Each structure stands twice: as C-alpha cells, then as structure tokens.
Amino acid sequence: MRFEFKRASFVVSVLSVIALTGCTTVRETDPARTATEQLLISAAADRAAEKLVFNIPQNSKVFINADNFEGLDGKYAIGSIRDHVLRQGFAITDNKNDADTIVEIRAGALSIDKQEVLVGIPNFDIPIPLAGQFTFPEIALFKREEQLGVAKFAATSYDAKKGTLENSTSPQFGGSEHSKTVLLFLISWSNDNLHATTQPVSRSSN
C-alpha cells in the first residue's frame, strides 16, 4: 500500500508541474513564419552585406545584377547589398545601359540551422484504444535550443562596356543567433544578437 501511495503521489506531482507549465504559450498568432526566424535571416544578411568590398572606380555608375541571387528572404538581402553599395559612395542605376560597372551578386547560403540539447524526457504519443492518441508532454530537466542564421554573399564586378573583370570579392559570411534555455521545467531565459544596428549614413547633395 505504501508503494502504491508513493507512486500515486509521484504521478500527481508530475501532472501538477505539467499543468503549471502548460498554461503558457510563445505564439499569440500563427503566421507562416515567426518574427525571430525573419530577424535571424535579415540580421545575418545585413552582416554579410557589410563585409563586401567593391574595388571599382569611385565615380562609377553601378548596376546591381541579382539574376543569380537566390535564398530565403532574398529581396531583403538584395536591398541590404544595394544599401551597402550606396554607403560606399557609389551611384546605383537601374538602367543597365547607363551603367559603367555591372556588379553581379550571389548567395551561397541564406537560411537557418537549429541545434537542440535535452536532458529529460521528450514528448511522445500514447495510443488510447477507441480514442486515438495522447501526446505526453516534454519534461525538461535541462534544455537548450539554438537557432543560427547564416548568410554567405559574394560579388563579381565587370566593365559594362568591355565585359572585362574589375573585381571579384571573396565570399563573406554573416551570422546571427537566438538561444533559449530551460532549467527544471519552469525556469527559462533567452539570448540573442538580433538587434545590433548599423549607424545611419547620409550624404549632402551640395
């Protein structure tokens, strides 16, 4: 009888903890992608774009060719590269025939990696006859989830009239990180480097 009582007490304790932890939720809406995922990619893209060095004549009119640029949130990444070109003092033209230099940009990576460490019991399904199945929730003594945004950009510049090479950049990498740690079921905290910004740059027309 004492053994049965202890086992019942343990089950009640576990279910009580589950009930307490099961009341919170991270997402209040359900769009296709979370803001954290978008920030991971855009932050990595900004940091890779900042490292690109364009060794071309300073007064060149530049046409950005993004035909070979593919990746998740590619439009934002292309815009970030265009912004970086302007910050370097070059003039951008959207008319290829007016350009002095063509800059072809490409992405070798623009996505997210995920790593997870769990000390505890992962969730699992329990079949219930005539009622389908019940998902037993995860019990984490220690859990760490880490998401890494990765961007790899490169660019090739050539003379718009002659087609001759002016510059070929080495691949430049940008990264971002978001991590969440859970300790003893209830204690959790997050860390990230998603909110660092570049300093604004403005140029006078005088």
CATH of the domain at 180: 3.40.50
Q: For the chain, give the mean pLDDT.
A: 83
Instruction: Encode pLDDT of 79-123 as tens digits.
Output: 999 999 999 999 999 999 999 999 999 999 999 999 999 898 888
Residue 55 lies in a domain: yes
- 93 by DSSP, 3-state: which? coil
How many independent structural domains does the chain possess?
1
CB neighbour list of residue 54: distance below 8 Å, 6 or more residues apart: 62, 85, 88, 90, 103, 155, 157, 167, 169
Determine the straight-line distance between the first and last CA of the chain, rounded to whole angstroms.
91
Tell me the residue type at 98.
D
Band of residue 15 on the pLDDT scale cut at 50, 70, 90? very low
Question: If DSSP codes are grouped into helix, strand and coil, which group holds residue 83?
Answer: helix
More confident residue, 201 or 147: 147
- For the residues 6-26, what does the mean pLDDT come to? 48
Query: What's the confidence (pLDDT) of residue 32?
Result: 84
In a domain, 157, yes or no: yes
- Asked if residue 7 belongs to a domain, the reply is no
Are the CB atoms for 75 and 64 separated by under 8 Å? no
Let me know if residue 62 belongs to a domain: yes
What is the enclosing helix (H) or strand (E) of 41?
helix 35-50
Helix (H, G, I), strand (E, B) or coil at 74: helix
pLDDT of 13: 52
Provide the domain limits for residue 64.
Answer: 33-192
* CA 127 – CA 178 distance, rounded (Å): 35
